[in-house]
Amino acid sequence: EYTDPHCDGKQTIVHLFEWKWADIALECERFLSKKGFCGVQVSPANEHIYKDSAPWWQRYQPISYKLQSRSGTEAEFVDMVNRCRAVGVRIYVDVVVNHMAGLGQSGVGSAGSNFNSDNYDFPGVPFTREHFHPHCEIKNYGDPNEVRNCYLVALTDLDQHNDYVRDKIAEFLNHLIDLGVAGFRVDAAKHMWPADISAIQQRLKDLPEGGRPMFYHEVIDQGGEPIKTQEYTGLGYVTEFRYSIKIGQAVQNFDQLGNVVDFGWGMTDSGHAFVFVDNHDNQRGHGGGGSIMTFKRPREYRMATAYLLANDYGFTRVMSSYDFHSSDQGPPSSGGQNIKDVTINGDGSCGNGWICEHRWPSIGNMVAFRNAVAGTSKQNFYLQNNEVAFSRGNKGFFAMAKNGHMDKTLQTGLPAGDYCNLITECRTKVTVDGSGNAHIVINDPNEPVLAIIVGGPS
Ligand code: ARE
Ligand code: CA
């Protein structure tokens, strides 16, 4: 339950961080549908604070559940959901329901609602003081009570034990379900009691087409604290931050690529692990450290994401960023709260400060690989001399070379035939002989990845 993404068996979503709804609709139509993406994680859609400096994180301070945000109006949101869905791409909404805006703030939110955090006054919902935990700050992550009932960086902490609070949150999610979204990222799920999240889920409708919405819960568990991802696996997928650390390290030291999934370290079972190379927090030093690979190291980042998509672990999310130089800096803007359009260059890359990692060939083209090999396990694993390769059942074969060069005959596990390298979009091919062997050649320091699938282009 709560793990079906409702996208016809597709296997990967992309986080279009801080994109406007209008641009996401266009991206579904012109790119994501063609590459086999299951869906898009969108930034929080509900009313949030506006700060003069317009940092990205203002959207993690809710004022009400009205669907008017920096990314657009409710009408634009609905248009995005419908247009994406019409081309087979679903929308997953980042829902911030642990808390409302931070203490010390008051004014008017992005949908025009007044608020005063110090008075616990959020008339746009409405929430009042009785709906919040009394103030205490989270200092000790070793105490689960404090983590759930105290305030995360001064954010006014809702009491999800309260029936009215549960009802209001459920009303918000049910509205999104009515509009056609397929699921939710639950922000700061670690800071809510699993039983309270479950009580909210029980108040939710089925999707209009049937089935429960997909849920993935943001729980940062790197092993050193009492709160474990496993407390949340009954509620859907759970973020697996240890995998990001392992993959980030392993593309720098290929010897480690054989054990990026380490259940001895408490990692989440594959059926409930929600996995990614980096996220919007840790790519800029928020939300826990570790050795995180990002677009700022493009070569290694491509390898990390290609490996994420090739491997047989978890449900995958690809990050899509904007360029930034300081950790609070918001999305590309020509001033104030407006967000710049995502423009597309002649070579398919993005302009106006948008990085669009999801359009990089060794990332975007691996989505088809993951879809094609779903349900198979890794076989014929080869790891030597900074080269890695494996087959996924008899459906696909993947190879990657740290320094960009590989020239080796390997067992692919595939039926005989000619296969296009998905990464080069057929500019290079692989011939598999009757015994399943093939001469594997990689000769591109920038995109040092090769991937072939049964039933792919030829
Ligand atoms: C901002 C300011 C604060 C200010 C606050 C209220 O930066 O100084 O007090 O506003 O006015 C994001 C930003 C925050 C921002 C917040 C609200 O990252 O900087 O605060 O929005 O605008 C913990 C949580 C985890 C959380 C991370 C960031 O467990 O849930 O911290 N991640 C989510 C989102 C964030 C978002 C929020 C939650 C809040 O993904 O984008 O914050 O909605 C160890 C622990 C982790 C802990 C980590 C960092 O690793 O194990 O649990 O993560 O340290 O403390
Ligand atoms: Ca809480």
What is the rounded average pLDDT of the residues 406-430? 97
CB 56 within 8 A of CB 18: yes
To the query of whether residue 187 is one of the catalytic residues in this protein, the response is yes
What pLDDT is attached to residue 49? 98
Place of tokens 């992550």: 141
**Residues listed for the chain:** 458
Closest residue to atom 44 of ligand 1, CA basis? 288
Q: Which two tokens stand for residue 401?
A: 């070379």
Digit-coded pLDDT (tens) for 197-241 = 999 999 999 999 999 999 999 999 999 999 999 999 999 999 999
Beta strand 237-239 with 214-217 is parallel
CB 36 within 8 A of CB 7: no
Residue 326 to residues 12, 56, 239, 316, Cα–Cα distance (Å):
29, 11, 25, 27
14 lines ligand 1 (CB under 6 A): no
Ligand 1 centroid, distance to 155 Cα (angstroms):
9
What pLDDT is attached to residue 431? 98
Closest residue to atom 11 of ligand 1, CA basis? 102
pLDDT-wise least confident of 16-20, 100-104, 206-210, 262-266: 262-266
Rounded to whole angstroms, the Cα distance separating 419 from 139 reads 55
155 lines ligand 1 (CB under 6 A): yes
Looking at ligand 1, which atom is closest to the CA of residue 241? 50
- Testing ligand 1's pocket by substitution, the residue of 281, 284, 291, 329 carrying the most ligand atoms inside 8 A of its CB is 281
Digit-coded pLDDT (tens) for 127-158 = 999 999 999 999 999 999 999 999 999 999 99
This prediction's pTM? 0.98
What is the rounded average pLDDT of the residues 262-283? 96
Rounded to whole angstroms, the Cα distance separating 145 from 217 reads 18
Digit-coded pLDDT (tens) for 383-410 = 999 999 999 999 999 999 999 999 999 9
96 lines ligand 1 (CB under 6 A): yes
Question: Residue 17 above 70 pLDDT?
Answer: yes
CB 432 within 8 A of CB 438: yes
Ligand 1 centroid, distance to 23 Cα (angstroms):
27
Closest residue to atom 17 of ligand 1, CA basis? 60
Query: What 3 state SS string does 159-203 have?
Result: CCCCHHHHHHHHHHHHHHHHHCCCEEEECCHHHCCHHHHHHHHHC
Ligand 2 centroid, distance to 97 Cα (angstroms):
9
Per-residue pLDDT band at 287 (split at 50, 70, 90): low
Per-residue pLDDT band at 182 (split at 50, 70, 90): very high
187 lines ligand 1 (CB under 6 A): yes
Which listed ligand is nearest to 191 at the C-alpha? Answer: 2
Ligand 2 centroid, distance to 151 Cα (angstroms):
7
Rounded to whole angstroms, the Cα distance separating 168 from 65 reads 9
Digit-coded pLDDT (tens) for 331-375 = 999 999 999 999 999 999 999 999 999 999 999 999 999 999 999
Catalytic residue among 23, 47, 196, 218: 218
220 lines ligand 1 (CB under 6 A): yes
Question: Residue 289 above 60 pLDDT?
Answer: no
Q: For the chain, what is the mean pLDDT?
A: 97
Q: Which two tokens stand for residue 335?
A: 């001033």
Rounded to whole angstroms, the Cα distance separating 237 from 1 reads 10
Which listed ligand is nearest to 159 at the C-alpha? Answer: 2
Measure CA 131 to chain center.
Answer: 30
Rounded to whole angstroms, the Cα distance separating 425 from 18 reads 29
Per-residue pLDDT band at 288 (split at 50, 70, 90): low
Rounded to whole angstroms, the Cα distance separating 312 from 384 reads 20
- Testing ligand 1's pocket by substitution, the residue of 220, 279, 319, 327 carrying the most ligand atoms inside 8 A of its CB is 220
What is the rounded average pLDDT of the residues 114-119? 98
Which listed ligand is nearest to 223 at the C-alpha? Answer: 1
3-state secondary structure at position 131: helix
Which listed ligand is nearest to 147 at the C-alpha? Answer: 2
To the query of whether residue 159 is one of the catalytic residues in this protein, the response is no
Ligand 2 centroid, distance to 226 Cα (angstroms):
16
Percent share of the chain, pLDDT over 90: 98
What is the rounded average pLDDT of the residues 74-88? 98
Rounded to whole angstroms, the Cα distance separating 40 from 183 reads 10
Catalytic residue among 18, 187, 281, 387: 187
What number of CA atoms fall less than 13 Å from residue 283's CA on the CB side? 25
Ligand 1 centroid, distance to 45 Cα (angstroms):
18
What pLDDT is attached to residue 290? 59
Closest residue to atom 47 of ligand 1, CA basis? 287
Per-residue pLDDT band at 285 (split at 50, 70, 90): confident
Ligand 2 centroid, distance to 161 Cα (angstroms):
10
290 lines ligand 1 (CB under 6 A): no
